[in-house]
Amino acid sequence: MMTQQLKIPATYMRGGTSKGVFFALHDLPAQAQQPGAYRDALLLRVIGSPDPYGKHTDGMGGATSSTSKTVILSKSDKADHDVDYLFGQVAIDKPFIDWSGNCGNLTAAVGAFAINNGLVDAARICENGITEVRIWQANIHKTIIAHVPMRDGMVQELGDFELDGVTFPAAEVKVDFLSPVGDGAVLPTGNLVDTLVVPGEGELQATFINAGIPTIFVNASELGYTGAELQDDINNDEQALARFERIRAFGAVQMGLISDIEEAKIRQHTPKIAMVAPPSSYVASSGKHIDRADIDVQIRALSMGKLHHAMMGTAAVAIATAAAIEGTLVNLAAGGVARQSLTFGHPSGTLQVGASVNMNAGQVEVHSVSMSRSARRLMEGWVRVPEPELGE
């Protein structure tokens, strides 16, 4: 039996409405610097998964999809990029890390970590103002630009920018997702609205969007919801969660992401499923009153099998894209007119997003999606973790 733990440099960071454990690739043990079973086992132990108690008591995770995350960063060898960003979504009760997608929220923290850890050339870092960090998102092979505020040569983390879903204000970090469409077309089936047949549900209208992260949008009203639900309305109902997962699985097949619904069990991070509804007034989870006049549409999205407490950043990219395309369910719920910016309601409040989208020879082209987030270092030093013991 081992008597000593590994000691690995790490930073615990909040980015947007998520938080995770950040590593520089060169700081990981040699075996974990390459993808594979050793890396996964190590990061699972860092987070404290799998945990049948669902608490992450013996790890750095927070026992929610928003807080069970790991990030590995390295200096980029890609032209015109500063840093490579690899994201791992860690399952809570299963020995599994999903590397199939990005975390848009934690993207806001990538630039700051890269600057603070010497992954951005000094010549590109401004003394005062905004440093643009060019990020290569290694999971989905896309470029993201983080606009990191600087003061006296240091990353500015504190400020007065308020983000619904985050308790305290911080400095604003603008994030641009460039050409965010994944492999294939933004509308993977070629349709603005599809008929999704799900056993036990019958036929549902659905819009499939492949931007930011593959996302299935369905009408809240078809499922018996208003679209103004909070976490407890969904997450305390096991039948509702099973229902959403079944719809997600059949939608993933129709999107062409998997060939059999059973594969959805090992692809929990993607696609996302979200329900949409026209704007309505509601009280957010913080007690803040949201007036229907202040939002364009209601969106509620699930992540890793649970209703998200706010909104995943990558799903916000999908929302902005869908809103800009006339005739999608998101666009129709928001009034049916194409728009370059949109404010949507989520369980914690509201979020404004913008998209640059145009039609070219009948095909939708998404040039960029932008939003503002914030980020802050919570702790830096080392994580201690037992060395993984891999079975034969």
Active site residues: 103, 312
**Omega before 271 within 30 of 0, i.e. cis:** yes
Q: What is the distance between the alpha carbons of residues 94 and 100, in angstroms, rounded to a whole number?
A: 16
Under DSSP, is residue 303 helix (H, G, I), strand (E, B) or coil? strand
Given phi > 0 = left and psi -120 to 50 = alpha, else beta, which region is 165? Answer: left
- Exposed, middle or buried: residue 202 (CB in 10 Å: 0-12, 13-18, 19+)? exposed
Handedness of CA 154, 156, 158, 164 (dihedral sign): negative
**Omega before 50 within 30 of 0, i.e. cis:** yes
Handedness of CA 245, 248, 250, 252 (dihedral sign): negative
Q: What is the distance between the alpha carbons of residues 256 and 149, in angstroms, rounded to a whole number?
A: 40
Collect contacts of 25-29 with beta carbons under 8 A, ≥24 apart: 25/72, 25/73, 25/74, 25/84, 26/74, 28/72, 29/387
* CB contact at 8 A, 326 and 359: no
The single-letter code of the amino acid at 381 is G
